[in-house]
């Protein structure tokens, strides 16, 4: 995909990966719709609750009416909890609505235009947790697995209609979600930090390269591919290793 003059929407662009993506896309010549008050450049200020189907549909309609067809929609907004299966139903519902339904709402709004034009691009920010797991955060792990599965399904089901899909699965990125810790989940943040953090700008550079090659899986941490292979080769050994890591982090 060429970013020059592309109309791009980035959700969750107030900081972290989203902000870095927006900056990098502007540098590449794209017209980006984000929170313009937080990201400098030739951008349009749009703030939307991605868990609200009507709000996402209205965003797509406004952008396309003002700037033309959306060439790339980055479903990047996401939240974490730092909690286990005993998290409240409200917390489980909220993270599902943001981490999964945000992409569902975007796909619903984008697909009619993609079918009419025969092309369009969706970037889903999942996580290495969606391919592996995130110790200390069950809702995040479950919803990021769902995000990866949804991205795969969209690529398979709508690829022949012109929808290209990439799934971004970074391991540890120096963002407020990680460096600020989590309310009840310091272990989840410590796991990510212990495995090595990259800067958001490095993640954005990997995304640009992945989009250029139109790769489905974008891995800013190449070692994640090795971890996934090991998990697939021997799931029981992998689970045992993760339990060992958890015991070590808990001091047991």
Q: Yes or no: is domain 7-225 CATH 3.40.228.10?
A: no
118 has pLDDT over 60: yes
Q: pLDDT tens for residues 82-98?
A: 999 999 999 999 999 99
**What are the residues whose beta carbons fall under 8 Å from the beta carbon of 10, sequence distance 6 or more?**
18, 21, 22, 25, 32, 33, 34, 74, 76
- The pLDDT, as a whole number, for residue 41 is 44
Starting from the edge strand earliest in sequence, which strands make up the sheet with 7-10, in order? 43-45, 31-34, 7-10, 72-75, 120-125, 163-168, 217-218
Q: Let me know: does 138 contact 246? Beta carbons within 8 Å.
A: no
What ranges do the domains of the chain cover?
Answer: 7-225
Provide the pLDDT confidence category of residue 36 given band limits of 50, 70 and 90.
very low
Is 227 annotated in the active site? no
Which of left, alpha, beta for 29 (phi over 0: left; psi -120 to 50: alpha)?
left
Entry pTM:
0.90
Provide the pLDDT confidence category of residue 45 given band limits of 50, 70 and 90.
low
């Amino acid at each position: 995909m060429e970013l020059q003059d592309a109309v791009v929407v980035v959700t969750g662009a107030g900081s972290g990966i989203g902000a870095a993506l927006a900056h990098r896309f502007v540098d590449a010549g794209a017209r980006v719709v984000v929170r313009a008050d937080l990201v400098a450049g030739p951008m349009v200020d749009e703030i939307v609750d991605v868990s609200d189907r009507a709000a996402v549909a209205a965003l797509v309609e406004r952008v396309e009416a003002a700037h033309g067809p959306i060439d790339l929609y980055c479903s990047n907004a996401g939240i974490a909890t730092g909690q286990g299966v005993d998290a409240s139903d409200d917390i489980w519902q909220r993270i599902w609505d943001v981490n999964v339904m945000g992409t569902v709402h975007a796909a619903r709004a984008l697909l009619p235009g993609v079918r009419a034009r025969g092309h369009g691009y969706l970037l889903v920010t999942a996580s290495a947790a969606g391919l592996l797991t995130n110790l200390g955060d069950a809702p995040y792990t479950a919803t990021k697995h769902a995000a990866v599965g949804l991205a795969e399904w969209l690529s398979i089901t709508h690829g022949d209609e012109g929808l290209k899909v990439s799934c971004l699965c970074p391991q540890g990125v120096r963002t407020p979600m990680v460096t600020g810790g989590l309310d009840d989940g310091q272990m989840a943040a410590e796991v990510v930090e212990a495995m090595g953090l990259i800067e958001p700008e490095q993640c954005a550079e990997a995304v640009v390269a992945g989009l250029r090659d139109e790769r489905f899986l974008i891995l800013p941490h190449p070692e994640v591919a090795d971890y996934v292979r090991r998990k697939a080769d021997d799931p029981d050994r992998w689970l045992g290793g993760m339990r060992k890591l958890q015991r070590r982090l808990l001091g047991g």
